[in-house]
Amino acid sequence: MTGHLIFENVTRRFGSFTAVSDVTLEIQKGECFSLLGPSGCGKTTLLRMAAGFEKPDSGRILLNGKDITALPPDKRPVNTVFQNYALFPHLTVRQNIAFGPKIAKWSKAETGREVDRMLNLVDLTAHADKKPAQLSGGQKQRVAIARALVNKPEVLLLDEPLAALDLKLRQRLLVELDAIHDEVGITFIYVTHDQGEAMSFSDRIAVMNKGKIVQTGPPAEIYETPRSSFVAAFIGDTNFIDGKIIEGTGQAFSRCEVEGLGIISVDNDQPVKTGDKVYLSLRPEKILLSSLKPSAAPLENIISGKVEDVIYFGSHTRYWVRCGDWRICAEVQHRNFLLDEKPPTWNDEVWLRWHANDAFLLDQYREEDEALLTLPETP
Residues forming contacts to another protein in the complex (CB under 8 A) are 51-53, 72-74, 78-80, 82, 84, 86-90, 99-100, 103-104, 147-148, 151
What sign results for the dihedral spanned by CA atoms 363, 367, 373, 377? positive
Name the phi and psi angles at 144, rounded to 5: -60, -40
Q: Which residue, 122 or 222, has its beta carbon nearer to another protein? A: 122
Q: Which residue, 51 or 128, has its beta carbon nearer to another protein? A: 51
Identify residue 324 by its one-letter amino acid code: G
Distance in Å, CB of 86 to another protein, minimum: 4
Q: Which residues of 129-156 are buried (b: 16+ CB within 10 A; e: fewer)?
A: eebbeebeebbbbbbbbbbbbbbebbbb
d(CA 220, CA 209): 19
Distance in Å, CB of 177 to another protein, minimum: 18
Distance in Å, CB of 100 to another protein, minimum: 4
Contact 26, 32 (CB under 8 A): no
Distance in Å, CB of 52 to another protein, minimum: 8
Distance in Å, CB of 14 to another protein, minimum: 14
Running DSSP on this structure, what letter comes out for residue 204? E
Distance in Å, CB of 61 to another protein, minimum: 15
Q: Which residue, 78 or 124, has its beta carbon nearer to another protein? A: 78
Identify residue 70 by its one-letter amino acid code: A
Q: Which residue, 98 or 241, has its beta carbon nearer to another protein? A: 98
Q: Which residue, 36 or 78, has its beta carbon nearer to another protein? A: 78
Q: Which residue, 72 or 218, has its beta carbon nearer to another protein? A: 72
d(CA 77, CA 60): 17
Q: Which residue, 83 or 374, has its beta carbon nearer to another protein? A: 83
d(CA 281, CA 328): 11
d(CA 87, CA 89): 6
Question: For residue 164, what is the enclosing H or E element?
Answer: none
Distance in Å, CB of 83 to another protein, minimum: 9
Identify residue 99 by its one-letter amino acid code: F
